[in-house]
Structure 1
């Protein structure tokens, strides 16, 4: 990343780590997944990986859609470290379906130099369907992380994209909420011909602007952000059923809104605990899948 293209929020965090320089060997993990339709099911046709990002194989473990591959992304590094530069590319070919998630929460480790970043590119061809629902991200104290996602989606395709951000290690020691230096997330979507749909960015710098205040996180500790890129008819049907509410007793608030240019919907959830955010995202997912492909979301695993 050249200085001219460096986002302004990263300018204070460009010093090099004393251990390994940023982007050096072992610090540039890459993952490329390509899904295709083969007869009556979809397959993982392309899989390229560079440690510490790993994928072992596609599983057909979804009882609601047994013909759909489920891929668990594994990281064997123990977390994202300073100087790491992650890249991930997902492509879903015409008519193919896939579910991608992570094996566990993504831990952004404490940093004393530089920063970590992640670049994602997601491409969906006509009629493609992708559920990308990773486990939460946990930014440790003094961590600095920037993620950029570029989406190219055909008009008849559907992408359910989710990210869940915890405020930190809430139950670590005396608590470690909102003590990270920087968390920056940008998602930009466009059509295959380059026509822009929307750009969403949220930038969190607790040291500059307190997060646990009214109008931001208030009394909540976990933030769920779900983007549904889908044809207008599906968006209308999902919006009519999605719950927008503030439940003080259970400690959560959620709301659904429209994305620009007829791109679909955005669904946001705030709660005090991760399990509540996960449950609300699952409720939204349980509305989306039947509307798009006419199949149910399976019951949650007993150990979750």
Structure 2
């Protein structure tokens, strides 16, 4: 089993919480999801959960893809706490489809000792299709968090992976913009035989290397990252529809661009914005095109709380 405790950026944070030691009972969340094709739809055939991670059941709420099981990942602790060690394994069988989201924004709670980690593994079989579209991540003041995600899939499968990172509790008190200690995220993709496709990792330590500067975030606060892993033909169609020109919206402001991944792995889409909703809208627009080209179906209209 992969352990993140020895990664270099965590070296300064090896002290133990006063409340419960890191990885103690109640701080090791485990989630295992297995999806399988049954007739004309996909079912959640395997489910194991250990608090603080929780999944109750698969629902079929997507009117555009009524065969698509939609699974919401919940947490019983209100976010990621110091000393938490979280792991999620998702297995998607041949021809199966799955849509995985989170209940709300992932809150990385303020910390005075240690750190939180998250390991995610997605294994796709031939012709499988997965959307992993969690809500944004909000790192609170002094939080430390490291995430490692591995995706293993054949050429015929498609994985749509998105993440949106906020700068902190922007409107809390006097504001917490880039006040966290560490945010580290790594994504690896490979073929079933272990052949690597690409690795992307970013490590943000605002106290050591300020990010509100030219060439990093500058005046932007919110970062969106979408990875589409699919075969070259689908990727080419999505690229044609989304990459005519990088978008620079001075009024919003918003900046977006799409690039090809190495080894014919697919595409990567980046978004920078001042506020969360324009970034989420840009991420959704890209995901709509990706789903349409991969499945022939579109997304339902965005739900409005107004």
Mapped partners of 2:172, 2:216: distance in 1? 23
Mapped partners of 1:170, 1:185: distance in 2? 21
Q: Shift of the alpha carbon at 1:5?
A: 6.9
Mapped partners of 2:21, 2:82: distance in 1? 9
Mapped partners of 2:95, 2:279: distance in 1? 30
1:118 maps to 118
Once the two structures are superposed, what CA deviation does each residue of 1:199-256 show, in whole Å capped at 9, x if it has no partner? 1000000011111111111111110011100000000000111152111112110000
Secondary structure in structure 2 of the residue aligned to 1:254: strand
**Aligned positions of 1:32-51 closer than 5 A:** 32-51=32-51
TM-score under structure 1 length normalisation: 0.98
Q: Shift of the alpha carbon at 1:302?
A: 2.1
Mapped partners of 1:2, 1:67: distance in 2? 33
Distance 1:240 1:145, change over 3 A: same
2:108 maps to 108
1:137 maps to 137
Mapped partners of 2:15, 2:225: distance in 1? 31
2:275 maps to 273
Distance 1:249 1:263, change over 3 A: same
1:216 maps to 216
CA RMSD, 1 decimal: 1.4
2:55 maps to 55
1:197 maps to 197
Secondary structure in structure 1 of the residue aligned to 2:120: strand
Q: Shift of the alpha carbon at 1:3?
A: 10
Query: Number of paired residues?
Result: 304
- TM superposition outliers: structure 1 runs of 4+ over 3 Å: 1-5
1:181 maps to 181
Q: Is the 8 A contact 2:140 2:179 kept in 1?
A: yes
Q: Is the 8 A contact 2:164 2:224 kept in 1?
A: yes
Q: Shift of the alpha carbon at 1:4?
A: 10
Q: Which runs of 5+ in 1 are unaligned?
A: none
